[in-house]
Amino acid sequence: MEATTVPKVQKHYPVLLKEIISIITPQYGGTFIDCTFGQGGYTKKILEFENTKVIGIDRDVESRKRANQIKEKFEDRFIFKNIRFSQLNNLKLKHEEIRGIIFDLGYSYTQIKDAKKGLSFESIGNLNMQMGLNTYSAEDAVNKLDEKELEKIFKFFGEEKESKFIARNIIKERLKNKIDTQTLVKIIDRTKRKKNFKVHSATKVFQALRIFVNKEISELILGLINASKILKKGGVLGVVTFHSLDDKIVKYFFKSLSENKSISRYSPAIEQPEILFNLIKKKPILPSDKEISENQPSRSAKFRYVIKKTDFYNFNTDIKDQFSDLIKIENYGDKL
């Protein structure tokens, strides 16, 4: 579970940087896409190698400040786009051959520190949680969705066991008051019977709302599909996840496109789709004890990667069907 408290570390810390660089090998040059530019930790490291180019993407317009600093130093080797990574297919890549595409999911230290974003339950004021280029906030969700919808969001995106009672108490409270961050924290605290003293009682609900507001499930699925289309043969696609839902999606996507499905010998012979990826390691790469001791939030990070085997730019995947229940829940937001 990703904690939504402001971390104790005092600076931004790119997770698993050494490991990722050793896998994407920028020392051989080429063009890379950093789909979650943030504070530019990965981008800057890649650009330090000659003959590299980076296209940095972030939905948060605040990232542009850091992007401008990097641009000053690396000029024509770096481009920044303030878009969502689900829109990767809109990039005009001309004849650019993409050697590596990296996603580092979740939010940055700078975002969690920013009280206006309201990502942390320690923030005072509006329930916002928009990372950028959103259409509704967490405040819209808790004040407008119905009880069943809120329950499902907390249950499926936060694995919150007491989702039903929390949703019911939100509905009762909002008849009297608009729900802001502090009110929501109080409702959760009051409602939860089983307290875990190591994890704040609001952690799961806050994670769930952040996933919902930023449509993180659909973003990831579309991001992975579009990235796989634009990557060149031999290129690396890698993702750092911080919670089990994201990791499940990445694991399924990589595995399902790396091997043939086993078919019963009694079934009629069908043509197997071509395999898109080489999955080098089945298990994810985790941060070392040293990294975790220096940067506590890295403790839940998992890095998975694949290498594209073919020159296909179009392929079939059933990933949307596999996770259709979660996509349906995210779509409650369409009416907000």
- The phi-psi region of residue 55 (left if phi > 0; otherwise alpha if psi is between -120 and 50; otherwise beta) is beta
Nearest residue to the partner ligand SAM, using Cβ: 41
Q: Residue 179 or residue 223: which is nearer to ligand SAM going by CB?
A: 223
The CA–CA distances, whole Å, from 34 to 102, 233, 315 equal: 5, 18, 23
- With H, G, I as helix, E, B as strand and everything else as coil, classify residue 322: helix
d(CA 185, CA 179): 10
C-beta closer to ligand SAM: residue 130 or 203: 130
In the complex, minimum distance from the CB of residue 41 to ligand SAM, in angstroms, rounded to a whole number? 2
Is the CB of 201 or the CB of 298 nearer to ligand SAM? 298
Residue closer to ligand SAM (CB basis): 42 or 253: 42
3-state class (DSSP) for residue 102:
strand
The Cα 18–Cα 23 span in angstroms is 9
Residue whose pair of structure tokens reads 């005092």 in the numeric block? 10
Q: What is the C-alpha to C-alpha distance for residues 271 and 290, in angstroms, rounded to an integer?
A: 48
Q: What are the φ/ψ torsions at residue 218 (nearest 5 degrees)?
A: -65, -40
Q: Which is nearer to ligand SAM, 41 or 158 (CB)?
A: 41
Smallest gap from residue 44 Cβ to ligand SAM (A)? 8
**Do residues 205 and 138 make contact, with C-beta atoms less than 8 angstroms apart?**
no
Q: Which pair of tokens denotes residue 38? A: 């943030």
Distance of CA 46 to the CA centre of its chain: 21
Which residues form the interface with ligand SAM (CB under 6 A)?
Answer: 12, 14, 36, 38-42, 57-60, 63, 84-85, 104, 106-108, 111, 131-132, 219
CB burial string 211-224: b at 16+ within 10 A, e below:
bbbbbbbbbbbbbb
Q: Which is nearer to ligand SAM, 12 or 229 (CB)?
A: 12
Cα(41)–Cα(222) distance, integer angstroms: 24
Closer residue to ligand SAM, CB minimum distance, 55 or 57 = 57
Q: Indicate the residue among 111 and 228 with the shorter CB distance to ligand SAM.
A: 111
**How far apart are alpha carbons 2 and 33 in whole angstroms?**
25
Residue 238: burial class (beta carbons within 10 Å; 0-12, 13-18, 19+): buried
For residue 36, the Cα-to-chain-centroid distance in whole angstroms is 8
